[in-house]
């Protein structure tokens, strides 16, 4: 429906409004004002010399007759029992496609009539689709997709709650992790990690020291996750304790960029 009143009608518009009585009453009540506005737009273009008046009225008459008949047949089809022959079903499917194309043409005329509104609508839709896609990608990667570990649905996170201090989440301390590892019998294994940063000292003249994001983990982390390094070994028992030798597992990116991805390279870098 239009959101503004229509100006007074002249003879041509009164004739077109009379033609609209060929449509079913329900359709006419819903779309008559929009059809009249589209008629005014097309007639205005005709007066600018884009189309002769006779051709315009013949095209308008054909459009009204075709679509009014289609609307009446569609309304009759909706109240007809479903057990009809396949031939009649095919005819009605073609009729529905004809009505759909007419509605698309009508929508295109309305959008062309308001280019500012059309451009704003397209921009808003594009931003909405882009934002929705980004949010879905994030949610899908973080919440919906399973973790890249075997039997990832069995992995859980252990935290503490301090109701006295009104704290809903408390991270584990080193002592509680060791306590759980020793006494908890409901789990196949308990591992822990803590994010940190560190430095890699240069091993060659052309290298510089590099600051890295690292994780300090318990020795059984890879066993709990049930994964293995692509090359070399994981941590051995006791290597996560105080005064144990420092052992590191490199990421693939660091191995490629810092150590050239050469498995035969036995040079060592000091980590701090």
Question: Does residue 1 lie in a domain region?
Answer: no
Which residues in the chain come in under a pLDDT of 70?
1-9, 49-51, 75-102, 264-272
Is residue 234 a contact partner of residue 228, using CB atoms and an 8 Å limit? Answer: yes
Residues 23 and 106 in one domain: yes
Residues 107 and 178 in one domain: no
Question: Does residue 202 lie in a domain region?
Answer: yes
Query: Which pLDDT score is estimated for 24?
Result: 82
Read off the pLDDT of residues 189-217 as tens digits, 9 standing for 90 and up.
999 988 888 888 877 777 788 888 889 89
Question: Does residue 130 lie in a domain region?
Answer: no
**DSSP secondary structure letter of residue 141:** I
Query: Which pLDDT score is estimated for 83?
Result: 47
Question: Does residue 224 lie in a domain region?
Answer: yes
Question: Does residue 163 lie in a domain region?
Answer: no
Claim: this prediction has a pTM higher than 0.75: no
Which of 72, 98, 113 is the C-terminal boundary of a domain?
113
Which structural domain range is residue 249 located in?
173-259
Query: Which pLDDT score is estimated for 242?
Result: 83
Question: Does residue 137 lie in a domain region?
Answer: no
Query: Exposure string (b/e) for 220-250, b if CB count within 10 Å is 16 or more?
Result: bbbbbbeeeeeeeebbeeeebeeeeeeeeeb
Question: Does residue 144 lie in a domain region?
Answer: no
User: What is the Cα–Cα distance from 16 to 56, expressed in whole angstroms?
Assistant: 12
Look at residues 197, 218, 169, 192 and name the one whose alpha carbon lies nearest to residue 272: 197
Distances (CA, A) of 78 to 20, 46, 73, 94, 271: 21, 37, 9, 15, 77
Is residue 23 a contact partner of residue 99, using CB atoms and an 8 Å limit? Answer: no
- DSSP secondary structure string, 164-198? TTTEEEEPPPHHHHHHHHHH--SSS----EEEEEE
Domain count, the chain: 2
What stretch of H or E contains 255?
helix 252-259
Residues 107 and 177 in one domain: no
Which of 96, 113, 130 is the C-terminal boundary of a domain?
113
Query: Which pLDDT score is estimated for 139?
Result: 85
Residues 103 and 184 in one domain: no
Which of 64, 98, 113 is the C-terminal boundary of a domain?
113
Question: Does residue 162 lie in a domain region?
Answer: no
Is residue 197 a contact partner of residue 212, using CB atoms and an 8 Å limit? Answer: yes
Residues 32 and 107 in one domain: yes
Read off the pLDDT of residues 54-95 as tens digits, 9 standing for 90 and up.
777 888 888 888 877 877 777 666 555 544 445 555 655 655
Query: Which pLDDT score is estimated for 210?
Result: 85
């Amino acid at each position: 429906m239009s959101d503004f009143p229509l100006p007074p009608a002249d003879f041509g518009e009164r004739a077109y409004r009379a033609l609209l009585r060929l449509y079913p009453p329900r359709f006419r009540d819903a779309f008559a004002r929009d059809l009249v506005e589209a008629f005014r737009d097309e007639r205005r273009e005709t007066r600018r010399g884009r189309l002769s008046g006779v051709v315009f009225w013949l095209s308008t008459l054909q459009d009204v007759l075709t679509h009014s008949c289609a609307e009446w047949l569609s309304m009759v089809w909706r109240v007809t029992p479903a057990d009809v022959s396949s031939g009649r079903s095919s005819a009605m499917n073609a009729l529905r496609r004809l009505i759909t194309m007419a509605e698309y043409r009508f929508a295109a005329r309305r959008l062309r009539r308001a280019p500012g509104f059309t451009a704003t609508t397209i921009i808003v839709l594009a931003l909405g689709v882009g934002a929705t896609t980004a949010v879905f990608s994030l949610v899908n990667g973080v919440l919906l997709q399973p973790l890249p570990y075997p039997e990832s649905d069995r992995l859980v996170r252990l935290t503490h709650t301090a109701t006295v201090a009104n704290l809903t989440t408390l991270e584990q301390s080193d002592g509680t992790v060791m306590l759980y590892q020793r006494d908890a019998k409901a789990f196949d294994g308990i591992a822990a990690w803590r994010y940190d940063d560190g430095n890699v000292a240069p091993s060659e003249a052309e290298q510089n020291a590099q600051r890295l994001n690292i994780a300090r983990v318990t020795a059984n982390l890879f066993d709990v996750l049930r994964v293995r390094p692509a090359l070399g070994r994981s941590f051995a028992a006791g290597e996560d304790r105080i005064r144990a030798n420092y052992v590191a597992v490199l990421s693939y990116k660091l191995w490629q960029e810092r150590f050239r991805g050469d498995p035969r390279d036995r040079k060592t870098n000091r980590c701090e």
